[in-house]
Amino acid sequence: MKQAEDYITEEKRKELEDELKDLKGPKRKEIIDAIASAKLLGDLSENAEYHQAREDQGKLEARITKIEQILKSSLVVTGGGGEVIEVGSKVVVVKDGEKEERNYMIVGSEEADMAQGKISNRSPFGEALFGKKKGDTISFVTPKGNVIYKIINVS
């Protein structure tokens, strides 16, 4: 698995496909109806409802394009499970000087969410972990300085 690729999990792929279906169906129709209603209000040059509906339409179309691009260009991963850390791997680490274990999952940049313990493979932490094994020590630079972690487990 290449570090530089764009990855998504099967779960994220399904989530994006569902969102795309909703955006292309009910949401698109909703905005078209809003534009039609706003046109009935008269002078379009000073019609706030019309301008808002057009702005919403632009945002909707941009999101549709982005989702289609993500689905087209990303590789779907089923999950790690091996000894070497890659996208989909679950990792348990301990920060140098601490005893508390921290659990993370390596994901593609579209799914990264530190609050849920999902780390992008392109983040400094994700890059440092990528390709390493249980027992390895990694270090990377943060705004607060160099940070060192020991890898306790990989699954």
pLDDT at 1: 54
How far is it between the farthest Cα atoms of the chain?
A: 70
State the Cα–Cα distance between residues 31 and 28, nearest whole angstrom.
5
- Given pLDDT bands bounded at 50, 70 and 90, which one contains residue 3? low
Helices 48-73 and 10-22, axial angle in degrees (round to 10) = 150
State the Cα–Cα distance between residues 131 and 80, nearest whole angstrom.
11
Domains of the chain: 7-76 (1.10.287.180), 79-154 (3.10.50.30)
Single pTM value for the model: 0.74
- Given pLDDT bands bounded at 50, 70 and 90, which one contains residue 126? very high
End-to-end CA, the chain: 16
- Mind listing the pLDDT tens digit for each residue in 63-113? 999 999 999 999 888 766 688 999 889 999 999 999 999 999 999 988 999
Using alpha carbons only, what angle is made at residue 80 by residues 75 and 84, rounded to the nearest 5 degrees?
Answer: 110
